[in-house]
Structure 1
């Protein structure tokens, strides 16, 4: 099935317009039909050995969100202590999550035993199932953006908080806690770029030919 020019343009537009959303969420509910489309896109991500190791925990209960937010605050304070001087002050000014503001939280997990002990493609590199779930997260993120919904990945969070709060079995690995919802607006550039935390690297400096450091 070929992709025509307008379809191709839409894919690239979605990729370049994707943002990590933190402080712009609206309280408007996400329609179930749209949520199902987004999860279906996530479920169609590539996975090693076609093991489809992901599960999706949808979080709407304010009390559960509050516990996850408390876990973020603990990890956030720990992270702030790792920076010094102006860098710490800059970090503390950043809005880095929308746990309570977003109408839906989604915890995406990895069941590493789903396809048994031997999985095609995971024999040499055991972590390939974890990477598969990250592909699922990216599918979800891009599908959400195509639906004009924002997504924020809360990475400043200890996994044990998710295990305890969401009753995730010990053998299941939480990969991502995502905040999902409609937003007031999307930023033109990633916030960490626009606020001066780090610049976007020049692609040409990241391309190697044949060997590391090889020039074309």
Structure 2
């Protein structure tokens, strides 16, 4: 055991938050206290970022008409996604894919503009800006779970349409609509697994040694 390790109880709490994190779609009535929201955003802001570029930008949606407009963009993309799914279209349309009108808080997470100036760590992997934003969202998500709040990541939208709606500058790009708020209960397993949409693969199927297995 490393001298820098947390206590057993602290380690258990971290692993519990990771294991019980869920992509929530069902929210109950309630609010998120300002100090709790501040803690969640601070947790997100502590995420690692390649070259310390901190590409994340957060927009808190407070106007009801904006929330409705974002819901409209998501609904339009939901229909287009169903069309693209072909035989699974009806099955997909029965899924609840967002909680925009039900959640206590709605936030949009975006990549900031001017990212081309950050070369450190991105010269060969420019998508590391997105990886950094994803780490910030995961921090937010785990902290919310520890606070007993649900988070749902909605990605069904046309990015430029959402960017235009929120008056983002050229080069900025929205990557997530986050629904946040109290829930009656957390799903016992991922919702898409509960609904029979997909089955998670075990770690051993995704863990390789030295080389890609098909190349052996």
TM-score by length of 1: 0.93
Q: How does 1:27-42 map to 2 (within 5 A)?
A: 27-42=29-44
**Paired residue for 2:22, among 11, 19, 23?**
19
Kindly indicate whether the alpha-carbon contact (under 8 Å) linking 1:68 and 1:161 is maintained by their aligned counterparts in 2: no
Q: CA deviation at 1:118?
A: 4.2
1:48 aligns with: 50
CA distance in 2, matches of 1:27, 1:105: 14
Runs of 5+ unmatched residues, structure 2: none
SS in 2 for 1:70: helix
Question: Is 1:96 aligned with 2:97?
Answer: yes
Per-residue CA shift, 1:165-207, capped at 9, x if unaligned?
2111122121211111111111101110011111111211111
2:13 aligns with: 10
Question: Is 1:82 aligned with 2:84?
Answer: yes
CA distance in 2, matches of 1:8, 1:119: 35
Runs of 5+ unmatched residues, structure 1: none
Kindly indicate whether the alpha-carbon contact (under 8 Å) linking 1:208 and 1:214 is maintained by their aligned counterparts in 2: no
TM-score by length of 2: 0.93
Aligned CA-pair RMSD:
1.8
Question: Is 1:137 aligned with 2:140?
Answer: no
SS in 2 for 1:81: helix
Question: Is 1:159 aligned with 2:180?
Answer: no
Task: State the number of aligned residues.
Answer: 213
CA distance in 2, matches of 1:5, 1:94: 39
